């Protein structure tokens, strides 16, 4: 039976971090507008905090700037979480050069984007450019010594596609965006558009990663995966025990047990998207046919996969 990965755990985590961001921003800005207009003059009793601004208008405007800066931080962090989770086993980023580029970027989200850009720029130059603006703008507000420039390539890409960007992002003005980046604080319109671009960016990136996924390698890493709090010899014993409990069953029961196990990692029988990663029936059948020792050796990253696969 063919199985599918419709959405990665990394993308689900990204959505958890950023899902209702625009609604939350609007809610906060509505409250700040009430402060600016003098409709709110005292904090609620259960806040238990002193609040008596000398100039409520200035306080509200400064708070608005802080909120938008913080939202950019949250948005960039959500992209970073997605990329870091794509490198965890079982990993979506498998190509050696791309893995080295992402890993070599260390904690720099900006350099991770550049590493991805080398491989996937053609998927959407506009989204790579908008996300680069978002990361650089976040860095200007929160990391003064980090990457804070937008490259000439990204600026040209945005200008060349200004009409399409305005259409997709509800009138976003590219020139105003770049002028604002160079000399001013982000506006709600710009932040909301960059959040939407980040969501679209993760969507097209996941499609590309699924397309390039080596299904057998992904399955091997999935089978070998141990809980994050299990290390060393304990991880070795955990794997042995887990594999025995699944692949040690009579063959009449084993396929059901294997599919149940794979379902815990998001592999399901229904294909909800055209871009879903596909794990062929023959690959699943081969996996089900292995004994506990065979599947242990097959999944072990220290073994020669080429030699082991010749046994099939």
Question: Is the same domain home to 303 and 284?
Answer: yes
Average pLDDT, stretch 291-301? 92
For 185-206, give one letter per residue: b (16+ CB within 10 A) or e. Answer: bbeebbbbbbbbbbbbbbeebb
DSSP tag of 63: H
pLDDT tens-digit series, residues 37-87: 999 989 898 988 888 899 999 999 888 888 888 999 999 999 999 999 999
> Is residue 26 assigned to a domain?
no
Q: pTM for the complete prediction?
A: 0.90
Helices 125-142 and 56-86, axial angle in degrees (round to 10) = 130
Q: What is the mean pLDDT of residues 266-274?
A: 95
User: Are 88 and 168 found together in one domain?
Assistant: yes
Residue 137: inside a domain: yes
Residue 312, pLDDT above cutoff 60: no
Q: Are residues 233 and 87 in the same domain?
A: no
In a domain, 258, yes or no: yes
Q: Do both 175 and 226 map to the same domain?
A: no
Verify that 248 and 128 share a domain, yes or no: no
261 and 181, same structural domain?
Answer: no
In terms of domains, do 153 and 274 share one? no
Question: In this structure, what DSSP letter does residue 310 have?
Answer: T
| The predicted structure's pLDDT at residue 309 | 52
One domain for residues 85 and 190: yes
3-state secondary structure of 3: strand
Instruction: Kindly give, in sequence order, each residue whose CB lies less than 8 Å from that of residue 46, ignoring residues fewer than 6 positions away.
Output: none
Same domain, 190 and 285: no
Quick check: 132 pLDDT over 90?
yes
Give Cα separations from 159 to 121, 125, 140, 196, 201 (angstroms). Answer: 17, 12, 22, 18, 18
The mean-pLDDT minimum among 94-108, 125-139, 221-235 falls in 221-235
| Cα(75)–Cα(73) distance, integer angstroms | 5
Domain end call among 179, 211, 243: 211
35 within a domain of the structure (yes/no): no
| pLDDT attached to residue 305 | 52
**Is the predicted pLDDT of residue 304 greater than 90, yes or no?**
no
pLDDT in tens, 195-247: 999 999 999 999 999 999 999 999 999 999 866 666 666 777 888 899 999 99
Q: Are residues 74 and 195 in the same domain?
A: yes
Same domain, 85 and 111: yes
Number of folded domains that form the chain = 2
Last residue of a domain, which of 193, 211, 229? 211
Task: Tell whether 270 is covered by a domain.
Answer: yes
Helix segments in 107-148, DSSP class H:
109-120, 125-142
pLDDT given for residue 79 in this prediction: 97
Looking at mean pLDDT, say which of 157-166, 180-189, 303-312 comes out highest.
Answer: 157-166
State CA 238 to chain mean position distance. 29
Do the domain assignments include residue 172?
Answer: yes
| 229 CB burial (10 A radius; 0-12, 13-18, 19+) | exposed
Residue 54 domain flag = no
Q: Clarify whether residues 149 and 251 are in a common domain.
A: no
DSSP string covering 230-293: --HHHHHHHHHHHHHHHHTS-TTTHHHHHHHHHHTTTEES---STT-EEE-HHHHHHHHHS-HH
List pLDDT tens digits, range 140-163. Answer: 877 665 778 999 999 999 999 999
User: Domain range spanning residue 82?
Assistant: 8-17+67-211
Domain membership of residue 48 (yes or no) is no
Residues 6 or more apart whose Cβ sits within 8 Å of residue 240: 292, 296
Domain termination site, one of 165, 183, 211? 211
């Amino acid at each position: 039976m063919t199985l599918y990965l419709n959405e990665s755990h990394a993308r689900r985590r990204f959505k958890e971090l950023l899902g209702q961001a625009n609604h939350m921003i609007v809610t906060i800005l509505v409250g700040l507008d009430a402060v600016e207009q003098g409709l709110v003059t005292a904090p609620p009793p259960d806040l238990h905090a002193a609040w008596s601004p000398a100039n409520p208008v200035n306080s509200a405007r400064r708070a608005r700037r802080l909120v938008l800066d913080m939202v950019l931080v949250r948005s960039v962090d959500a992209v970073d979480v997605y990329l870091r989770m794509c490198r965890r086993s079982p990993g979506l980023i498998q190509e050696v050069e791309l893995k080295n580029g992402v890993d070599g970027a260390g904690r720099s989200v900006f350099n991770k984007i550049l590493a991805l850009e080398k491989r996937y720029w053609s998927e959407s130059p506009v989204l790579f450019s908008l996300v680069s603006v978002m990361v650089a703008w976040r860095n200007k507000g929160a990391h003064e010594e980090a990457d804070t420039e937008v490259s000439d390539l990204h600026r040209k890409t945005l200008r060349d596609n200004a009409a399409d960007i305005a259409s997709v992002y509800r009138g976003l003005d590219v020139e105003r965006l770049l002028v604002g980046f160079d000399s001013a604080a982000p506006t709600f319109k710009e932040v909301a558009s960059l959040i939407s671009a980040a969501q679209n960016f993760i969507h097209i990136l996941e499609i590309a990663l699924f397309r390039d996924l080596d299904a057998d390698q992904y399955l091997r890493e999935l089978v070998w995966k141990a809980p994050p709090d299990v290390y060393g010899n304990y991880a070795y014993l955990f794997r042995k025990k887990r594999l025995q409990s699944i692949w040690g069953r009579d063959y009449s029961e084993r396929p059901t047990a294997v599919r149940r196990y794979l379902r815990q990692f998001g592999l399901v029988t229904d294909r909800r998207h055209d871009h879903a990663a596909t794990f062929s029936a023959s690959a699943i059948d081969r996996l089900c046919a292995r004994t506990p020792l065979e599947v242990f050796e097959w999944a072990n990253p220290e073994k020669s996969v080429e030699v082991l696969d010749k046994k099939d």
